[in-house]
Chains A and B, each alone.
Chain A
Amino acid sequence: MKLTLKIWRQKGPSDKGQMVTYPIDNIDGDMSFLEMMDILNEELIVKGEDPVAFDHDCREGICGMCSLFINGEAHGPDRAVTTCQLHMRKFNDGDTIYIEPWRAKAFPVIKDLVVNRGAFDRIMASGGFVSVNTSGNTVDANAIPVSKIDADKAFEAATCIGCGACVASCVNASAMLFVSAKVSQLALLPQGQVEAKQRVLNMVQTMDEEGFGNCTNTGACAVECPKEISLDNIARMNREYFKGMISAE
């Protein structure tokens, strides 16, 4: 397949940046999107040019490192996949593909297609944890009965890999889907109850301070999420926040 790539190139955080066009040939439909990027970079290196910087790690859709806003959608046109799991067969010979970094004030560009998602880490540090006894007499988590329904919902929320596609897709660059998944996975389980009220207040406060936008319930986040995290979680966080807001001391 022969393609025309239009890629965002930006030398560093303070560089203005621009879209640069790269023609590419001999792309196989069975390649992943990132393998296509590898081929492009090898060509650039041979030519003595600076390769395109992009985030990636496990390449099996579970680490949350890869990103890329492809043809106007986070992780490209396919549903429920990360960019590393997106196959080139989703594109046609002769296509022009636009590749851009996540765009959000809270995700500043470091270089080219790589953005700093440290804001997510700071949200997690402000409340996305449970306190457990590590003094030697730790209780087995399975010793506490949890209903199957709640366990499943908590698990589904916990499949969020924190890639930031929700923020990238949202018209307001809101992080509500990510934060609500992290609040939900703990709020649904008995182990998460100890810090429940303060957790949601702290995580939302950090989310706001990091400069993410507000939720307008467009639902774009859940559509583009590679792990299909549901809007149920946002509704749950809205309830949890109300509980915390009116009763936390």
Chain B
Amino acid sequence: MSKSVLLKSSIAKKYWMAFTGLFLCLFLVGHLLGNLQLFASGEEGRRAFNEYAYFMQHNPLIKVMSYVTYLSILFHAIDGILLAVQNKKARPVQYAVNNAASNSSSASRKMAVLGSIILIFIVTHMVNFWAKMHFGGLNLHKVEISVPNAPKPQELYITTNQNYIPVEQVEVRDETMFYNKEVNIKIGEGYKDLHSAVMAFFGKEAHGMKANPLAWLGVLLYTIAMAVLSFHLMHGFAAAFQTLGLRHPRYTPIIANVGKAFSIVVPALFAIIPLYIFFS
């Protein structure tokens, strides 16, 4: 690259914003498709969701994509902060009167503020769920089956190779690994019960996870965060194409409309899930 412009120049920095931003839009679609499984209720829905969560944590291709996503978020945030600082410096004295509403949308002028709120949301969201998935804090997926004439129901773990193991027969090591109590051999691996953690977080007691007493606050903040995301995308989606030079009288109106639809539908579907869990 000539003169190392790839990171230094204003336009190259914008390419990175657009590139990472569009990649994160793809990530949103993937994340949403996963989340929509939370609408499936009952033991079947719970099991499908926990199996999906296991797959997302263990599939090598998904692993690569997840690191690309972490890097994209970091890069988008850092690059965005650098640009915002430069932009602030470019106008040291403000206007006494500025009728900016007459020439541009407020979302387009507040991208850094909207983005910062989304970044704070991402951090709290990751603490709420991602960190528990990766660093512990979740129960293992087990089911209770009532046995005729038995004083209490039988508790069984579900293993990743679709077996049921009675809870009292195994010792759990490394969070999810089942070892035979008598002979020191591994006999299976369990699923983390992320589904119940989600239910509990949004106010529904589930499988030994107590309902979050502040669930209403969680639901409220998640909904607000999705509204902020909607405004961020409302400008960002189409702007990314403009930054990459992808502008054409035939296609730009289509991109603008797809962007508007995307920025309403995707955050709305994300927001409906906690609302649905809380009010159902």
Given known contacts A73-B102, A211-B90, A216 and B2 CB-to-CB distance under 8 angstroms: no
A-B pairs with the 9 shortest C-beta distances?
A: A72-B99, A213-B90, A239-B245, A235-B247, A172-B87, A238-B245, A217-B239, A223-B103, A218-B104
Quick check: is A67 within 8 A (CB to CB) of the other chain? no
Do B245 and A235 touch across chains, with their CB atoms under 8 A apart?
yes
Do A201 and B2 touch across chains, with their CB atoms under 8 A apart?
yes
Do A220 and B247 touch across chains, with their CB atoms under 8 A apart?
no
Interface residues of A in 163-198 (CB under 8 A from B): 169, 171-174
Give min CB distance, A80 to chain B, whole Å: 13
Q: Which residue of the partner chain, among B2, B92, B245, contacts A105 with CB atoms under 8 Å?
A: B92
Contacts of B5 in A (CB 8 A): 201, 205, 245
The chain B residues found within 8 Å of chain A, CB to CB, are: 1-3, 5-6, 8-15, 83, 86-87, 89-100, 102-105, 108-109, 111, 235, 238-239, 242-247
Do A214 and B13 touch across chains, with their CB atoms under 8 A apart?
yes
Quick check: is A6 within 8 A (CB to CB) of the other chain? yes
Contacts of B15 in A (CB 8 A): 238, 242
The proximity string for A residues 90-134 relative to B, scoring 1 for CB distances below 8 Å and 0 otherwise, is: 000000001010011110000000000000000000000000000
Cα distance A103–B100 in the bound complex, in angstroms:
14
Do A218 and B109 touch across chains, with their CB atoms under 8 A apart?
yes
The B interface is mostly helix, strand or loop, or mixed, namely: helix
Q: Which residue of the partner chain, among A98, A217, A236, contacts B96 with CB atoms under 8 Å?
A: A98
Do B91 and A172 touch across chains, with their CB atoms under 8 A apart?
yes
Contacts of B9 in A (CB 8 A): 204-205, 208, 241, 245
Contacts of B13 in A (CB 8 A): 214
Residue of A nearest to B98 (CB): A72
Contacts of B14 in A (CB 8 A): 214-215, 238
Quick check: is A219 within 8 A (CB to CB) of the other chain? yes
Cα distance A152–B106 in the bound complex, in angstroms:
33
Do A235 and B246 touch across chains, with their CB atoms under 8 A apart?
yes
28 chain-A/chain-B pairs, Cβ below 8 angstroms: A72-B97, A72-B99, A73-B99, A73-B102, A73-B103, A98-B96, A103-B95, A105-B92, A171-B87, A172-B87, A173-B91, A205-B5, A205-B9, A208-B10, A214-B13, A216-B108, A216-B239, A217-B238, A217-B243, A218-B104, A218-B108, A231-B242, A235-B242, A236-B245, A238-B244, A241-B12, A242-B244, A249-B2
Residue of A nearest to B112 (CB): A216
Give min CB distance, A239 to chain B, whole Å: 3
Q: Which residue of the partner chain, among B3, B90, B244, contacts A104 with CB atoms under 8 Å?
A: B90
Do A213 and B108 touch across chains, with their CB atoms under 8 A apart?
no
Interface residues of A in 1-15 (CB under 8 A from B): 6, 8
The A interface is mostly helix, strand or loop, or mixed, namely: mixed
Contacts of A103 in B (CB 8 A): 91, 93-95
Do A212 and B103 touch across chains, with their CB atoms under 8 A apart?
no
Residue of B nearest to A224 (CB): B103
Do A220 and B242 touch across chains, with their CB atoms under 8 A apart?
no
Do A217 and B97 touch across chains, with their CB atoms under 8 A apart?
no
Do B102 and A205 touch across chains, with their CB atoms under 8 A apart?
no
Give min CB distance, A78 to chain B, whole Å: 11
Residue of B nearest to A104 (CB): B91
Do B3 and A205 touch across chains, with their CB atoms under 8 A apart?
yes
Quick check: is A248 within 8 A (CB to CB) of the other chain? yes
Contacts of A248 in B (CB 8 A): 2
Given known contacts A72-B99, A245-B5, A173 and B247 CB-to-CB distance under 8 angstroms: no
Contacts of A204 in B (CB 8 A): 9-11
Residue of A nearest to B246 (CB): A235
Do B242 and A211 touch across chains, with their CB atoms under 8 A apart?
no
Given A215-B243, A241-B11, A245-B12, 13 more A-B residue pairs with CB atoms under 8 Å apart are A6-B96, A72-B100, A104-B91, A171-B104, A172-B90, A201-B2, A212-B10, A213-B89, A214-B10, A220-B100, A234-B242, A238-B243, A242-B15
